[in-house]
Structures are given as C-alpha cells and as structure tokens.
Structure 1
Amino acid sequence: MDRDALRMVCSPQFWRMGVLWTLSLLYSYLLLFLRGWTAAPRRREDVGRGRRPICVVTGVILNCPNRSVCLFYRIITTVFHGAPPSDGAPSMVCDGSQATSGLGRAAAAALAREGYSVVLAGRSAQLLSETAKEIRRQQPDACLEAFQVDLSSYRSIKKFEASLNQWIRDSNLEPSIQLLINNAGMLAKSHRVTEDGIDEVMQTNYIGPFILTSILLPLLKNSPVPSRVVNLTSFTHRCVSEIDVSEEALQGVKFGQHSVGGSYPLASTYEYTKFCLLVFSYELHRQLHISSGISVMAADPGVIETRIMRELPPCLSQFAFFILRTLNLLQQPDTGIGAVLDAALAPPEASGKYFFGGKGRTIRSSVLSYDIEVAKKLWAASSALLQELRLRDCELRTG
C-alpha cells in the first residue's frame, strides 16, 4: 500500500464512506424489502408523425479501468478464490470493442433501443465519439448526436445550449426535448475551484445540473407530449443530518475551508451534492408537474462499478468494489441501469418519486429530503447563484 492510500485509510472520510455509506445502502434495501413489489410500468411517449422523441443524457463516457486496477483485481481474486479470473470471466482490459461501459453510456444505449433520438453530452470529445461508435456497433440504426459540455462551467453549458438548438433547427425537428437525464457526477479527493469560483464537485454534481435544467426548460415545456427530467441521486444522501443551503454553502466555501490545513471532506461533499440534487428534484416536481405537465423523477442506481472513484488510490477503490461484489451489492452499469430506465419510462403520475432497486420500484428517501422549507431555501439560493453567473457572463461578453 503506497503512502497516498495509507493516508486515505487513516482519514475519517474514508471510514465515513466505508461504514455510513454501506449502512445507508443496506437501509435502502431494507426499505425496498418492506415496500413490497408494487412497481410502476414502463412506457415511452409517442411524439407522433413518425418522429423520435429526443433525450439528452449527460455524463456519457466509456468506462476504462487502468492496468494497475486490472492487476489488483487479478491479485485479490487469486488470494480470496485461489485462482485468477478464468478466460470466460468478464475482461477488465479496456479497448475500443470491449470497454466496460459507464452508467451514462448504458442509459443512452437502452434509450436508443426504446426509439429515442439520444443526445450524448460529456466533457471529452474523443470519449463521446468512442461511445457513439460503440453504441452504433451494437445498434446500427441508433439515432445519436454527441456534444461536448462541461457541467462545471457556465459558459460551456451555454455553448451546449446553442449547439443543441442549432442541431434541432438544422435537423428540421420540433424545438423541444422529451427527456433530460442528469447523470454527470464526480468524487474528488482535493478541493478545486472552477472558473466560476465554485467547488468543482459541487458544480459538477449539483449546480451544473441545476443550470442545465433551467436553461433547457423552454425546450422541455415546448414538448408536444409530457416531458421529463430524471436526476441521478444516491443513497449517500441519507448521511446528511443537517443542511446549510445558503449561497455561500452552494459555492463550496466550507469545503475549501476544511481542506486548508486538513484533508478535503470528499465523502461529506459528495453526500451534500447528492442531497441537494434530490431536494431540487422534489421542488422541481412541485413547481412544474401540475402547472406544466413536466414530470421529475429521482433515480438511485445503487452501487455501480464505474469510474466515479478514479481519483482514489486504485488498491482502495478496487478493494471496496471487491467487498461490495462479495456482498452482492455491486452492479455493472448494463444491469444496474434499471432504476434509471424505470424513472425515464414510468407514467407521468409517478412524478416526484424516488426510484431504487429496478423493476419499477420506489422507496422513501430521507426525512430531511422532504423538508419543503429546506427545498425553498435551496431553490432561492441556487437561482440567485445562477443569476450571478448570468450577469458575470454578460459582463464578460460586453466588456
């Protein structure tokens, strides 16, 4: 174990992830067990005239483990099972044709099969291109369009909006979208400030999706059929026991203060961002479902083996995956996508629900997440921050 991994093991945040996150996950499964098997059916809205509904999926990449991770996986499997993975076992080697897929790619591929025209949105143009090629290799008739967007940048989101609208016009499509899936997310081990002056994890996981949803609302409202927003949240929101939703808190100032003279609170930061995204989902539902017919769902896929822990020491992230796999709590993206598809394809009356466990099932989120006063304060602070970013961008353009 290297020094970086040892330092991580000795930090309270590591044990917060190892203990509290696991308990939160198990509690969610307990709620699922007590909930029973009542499920929401899936269906796709028909926009008519032979047109495909348009779906925007953020955070779409191919998930490529590095060689050190692959080596660790082989070693730990040999130690605990007496033999390395067989030739028939799923390969951890990533190449253009056998890459392990990320959650966004799995969602995009599944929705393309459902007949959606899927807009792939992500940071890397190269990875977007590779993802589109991989989906088309499996589905030659898939209708895909890829756009670069960095949710940690207001200017990048505005550029994406302009590109999306231009593509819709050039394609002679209705100026509307039917489905937005906010899937982008990250877990960082250090405090980094974006060009907008916001903590990078905070902006990528919550502020960015809030801005993107706000900017795309006109297209969602213009849909000829009921449209939908699906926000990918996490069981880790249950670890949040008290909440500060001031504008300063949303900028991640307190996270930066914690990292001065100490370690960055990576677990607490991630929990907070996912809690905010969940509360935003509920408030968006309250504001839009009755007035505009837009349904808003929260989807919790559970623990998926993706690249979200790529900044952690490989030996620790893969050991965590090994333990979760042994407990049968770890899912691959293609099988763990159930809750996301359930939320995307459920009937409109399921708006405001928290989807978890697949098979159309929903459970209750934390008590705090249903606090309407917290939701209103979060909405006000988020809107004020968005207005500041708009004014700043306008000043830069005119100045």
Structure 2
Amino acid sequence: MVDWEAVRMICSLDFWRMAVYWTLALVYSHLYLLFAPRLSTLFPSLIRPPPSAFPRCRFAPGPECPVQRPICIVTGATSGLGEAASRALAAEGFHVLLAGRCPQALNKTIQKIKKHDRDACVEAFQVDISSIHSIMKFETAIKQWLGGSNLHPSIQLLINNAGIFAKSCRVTADGFDQMIETNYLGAFCLTNALLPLLKSSPVPSRIVNVTSFTHRCVSHVDINEGIVAREKFCVLSTSEKYRFAQKYEYSKFCTLLFSYELHRQLYATDSDSIVSVVAADPGAVATNIMRELPPSLKNLAFMVLGLLQLLQPPESGVGSIIDAALAPPEASGKYFFGAKGRTMKSSSVSYDVKLAEKLWSTSFQLFQECKARI
C-alpha cells in the first residue's frame, strides 16, 4: 500500500531542505569538534582553535548558605530531553519543578523519576508555553508555591526546553504561529516573567535556552529588514503554503539571538550580575518531536542518522544541556554542543548585535501587549 502522505512530503521543498541542509549543518558541527583542534595546530593562521570546554560545577553550599537545595524549572519536562534533564538534575541535588501541558503526563514523569531515585525532589506545574495567559498563571503559581515552602523565594536554574515541530499552520490564542510561540516567543516571555526570581537568588543563577543546529540554515541570504518584525511571528494568510522547515529553523535562530542579547544585558555589561545565560544544542536526538512526519520518513531519517552515528538517545543527548546548566558563570554567552563540556561558535549571523536588539524590542513589545489583554 502506497503511503501517499510520505510521497507528498518527499515531493516538497521542506523535505529536501531538512534532508540536505539540516544533515549538512549537523555533520559540520560534529566534524568541527572532531578536526578543529588538530587543524588549528597545523594551520594556526587559517583555523582558530575551538573554545575551551567547561567543567561541571556541582552545587556545594556552605552551612550558612540560604539555599541548601537549588530550584530548577524545566519546561517540556514530560518526555524526551525535558524528562532526561529533569531526572539528571534531580540526581544532581536540584529541586526540579517540571513544567508541562498535561497533568497526567507530568504525574507519570514524576513517578518514573521517583522509581529511579526515591529521594528526588520534584514538583509538577501545568503550563502551556504557547499561551501568554498560561505563562502568567504559571508565574503566579510558582510564587505562591515558593511563598508556602521553607525554601528561599528565588530560582537558581531555568531550562527553556519546550519545543514542537509542526507540519501544518496553527494559530495560538495570542494570534501567533504555534511553532514560533512555543519554540521562541513563549520562552522569551517566560524568562522575562521569572527574571526577578532569578535575580533575587543569593547564589549564581542560570538560564539555559535549548536551541538547534538547524539555526545554521538561516544565512545572510535569508536576512532582511523584516526578519524580526512582528509579522514573522503571526500567521497572515492560511492560504499560503506553510514552510514548516524554515519556521523551525527561524524559531531556533531567534532563540540564539535572544540568548546572546540576554547575556549582554545581564552578564557581559554587569560584572556584579549573578544571572548567566547559555545556549545548549543537543544535536540529533531520538525524541518524539518529529511525530507529525509520516512514520516511514521519520524511521528512515532515524535509520540514516543512526548509520552516520549522529543519532543519540535522550539520555546521551541531554549531555550538552546538563553541561550548560552546571558550567561555571564565566560560560555565559557560550553555545554548548557535543557534550563533554564542549562549546563552539554558532552561525556568524547569530552574533549580529543590531539584529538581536531589534528582535528583543519586538518580542518585548508583543509580550507587553499580550499581558495587557489578559
């Protein structure tokens, strides 16, 4: 029996963009980590050595420290990388607050974590990152929970992990493209909402934004005056063909711009800042994020990536996220990739300061407008 959905997908430009561009971007990242140290030694004038790796620094409070167990929030915590990160950070001694849309999935995840570690401190909070109203309710719930606990009223770690890959055009209640709001704009709004709790921490705090190697597919050719205008976040016409591959790349590109701009605002320009910001790219991971693709194509993609030894299970892929979460404060502004504490440069255009500032101002204005409507 012919899988016509898969046939139609193969005939689309988006499929070949993913098959070719995304694979090349992933291969480039791995080859860079593999060969750059050697080539930079042989050709120091042509190739720069890769940035230094950062060690994981376990939290070790003194007896007088007001924070004995740091608090961590993980979005998209009910499956894949979010679940793996929650389990790993709970094992590191964090009090992990799992954030997700489905209460049943949250409870199931807590049971799985407790099964492996009975002493794990985990809590469940319901939130839909593609809804500003839900994010504001989540902020209120977190503050109420902190107020009713014997913990310090602050947050030490926020991991913006929630993300989707949508094959079709969908509009959120806020009027934005669902993939854009879930993968980028929601994380932007959540971070700004929780920033006072991160700043009030008596010990260094950290924001980790999970991005993707697919951001490299947004090149200077794609950059134009309107790339960070509000129209890019909205669905202007449902009659237009939905370029889902480009939308996904764009959402991850925006996440990087946002990460670097927040780093500049919080850490680079203030030597006394306790809030550091890093980006983490887990690479290709066998999660369920591609569930909207035809099963035959998803299985084929996983098989090819597996043969190339580029596909990881969530337990391994989460390495770069945990590295980013536990790195020392001076790792702020870095792009973690490849686990083992390694970092590398993201695409050159992701460091465009003016572009990042424009994206920030547009996103913040939209955030304020959405809050005003609640």
- Per the normalisation by structure 2, the TM-score is 0.91
Residue 39 of structure 1: how far off its partner (Å): 1.5
Distance 2:98 2:240 in 1: 40
Q: Kindly provide the amino acid, as one letter, of the partner of residue 56 in structure 1.
A: I
Q: Kindly provide the amino acid, as one letter, of the partner of residue 43 in structure 1.
A: C
Residue in 2 that maps onto 1:39: 53
Residue in 1 that maps onto 2:290: 309
Q: Kindly provide the amino acid, as one letter, of the partner of residue 202 in structure 2.
A: P
Q: Residues 380 and 322 (structure 1 numbering): CA distance in 2 closer, same or farther, change over 3 Å?
A: same
Matched, 1:353 2:354: no
Residue in 1 that maps onto 2:358: 377
Residue 45 of structure 1: how far off its partner (Å): 3.5
Alignment of 1:334-353 (within 5 A): 334-353=315-334
Matched, 1:268 2:285: no
Distance 2:358 2:15 in 1: 30
Residue 250 of structure 1: how far off its partner (Å): 4.0
Contact 1:104–1:183 under 8 Å retained in 2: yes
Alignment of 1:182-331 (within 5 A): 182-241=160-219, 242-243=222-223, 244-253=226-235, 257=237, 260-262=239-241, 264-289=242-267, 290-291=269-270, 292-331=273-312
Residue 212 of structure 1: how far off its partner (Å): 0.2
Residue 361 of structure 1: how far off its partner (Å): 0.3
Residue 252 of structure 1: how far off its partner (Å): 3.2
The alignment partner of 1:161 has SS state of helix
Contact 1:45–1:225 under 8 Å retained in 2: no
Q: What whole-Å deviation, never above 9, does each CA across 1:35-91 have from its counterpart, x for those lacking one?
A: 4384101013345357200000000113xxxxxxxxxxxxxxxxxxxxxxxxxxxxx
The counterpart of 1:389, out of the listed 350, 370, 373, is 370
Contact 1:205–1:274 under 8 Å retained in 2: yes
Q: What whole-Å deviation, never above 9, does each CA across 1:333-372 have from its counterpart, x for those lacking one?
A: 0011111011000010011000000000000000100010
Distance 1:248 1:347 in 2: 35
Residue in 1 that maps onto 2:78: 61
Distance 1:342 1:311 in 2: 30
Residue 249 of structure 1: how far off its partner (Å): 3.2
The counterpart of 1:103, out of the listed 78, 81, 86, is 81
- Per the normalisation by structure 1, the TM-score is 0.85
Distance 1:50 1:266 in 2: 43
Residue in 1 that maps onto 2:154: 176
Q: What whole-Å deviation, never above 9, does each CA across 1:93-117 have from its counterpart, x for those lacking one?
A: xxxxxxxxx1001000000010000
Q: Kindly provide the amino acid, as one letter, of the partner of residue 176 in structure 2.
A: I
Distance 2:259 2:14 in 1: 27
Q: What whole-Å deviation, never above 9, does each CA across 1:163-218 have from its counterpart, x for those lacking one?
A: 11111111122110000000001101111000000000000000000000000000
The alignment partner of 1:375 has SS state of helix
Q: Kindly provide the amino acid, as one letter, of the partner of residue 148 in structure 2.
A: D
Size of the alignment, in residue pairs? Answer: 350
The counterpart of 1:114, out of the listed 92, 96, 109, is 92
The counterpart of 2:111, out of the listed 126, 133, 136, is 133
In structure 1, stretches of 5+ residues that fail to align are: 63-101, 394-399
Contact 2:66–2:202 under 8 Å retained in 1: no
Residue 245 of structure 1: how far off its partner (Å): 3.8
Distance 2:229 2:363 in 1: 7
In structure 2, stretches of 5+ residues that fail to align are: 38-49
Contact 1:56–1:118 under 8 Å retained in 2: yes
Contact 1:194–1:200 under 8 Å retained in 2: yes
Q: Kindly provide the amino acid, as one letter, of the partner of residue 354 in structure 1.
A: Y
Contact 1:301–1:336 under 8 Å retained in 2: yes
Residue in 1 that maps onto 2:11: 10
Contact 2:107–2:124 under 8 Å retained in 1: yes
Contact 1:46–1:225 under 8 Å retained in 2: no
Contact 1:46–1:53 under 8 Å retained in 2: no
Q: Kindly provide the amino acid, as one letter, of the partner of residue 10 in structure 2.
A: V
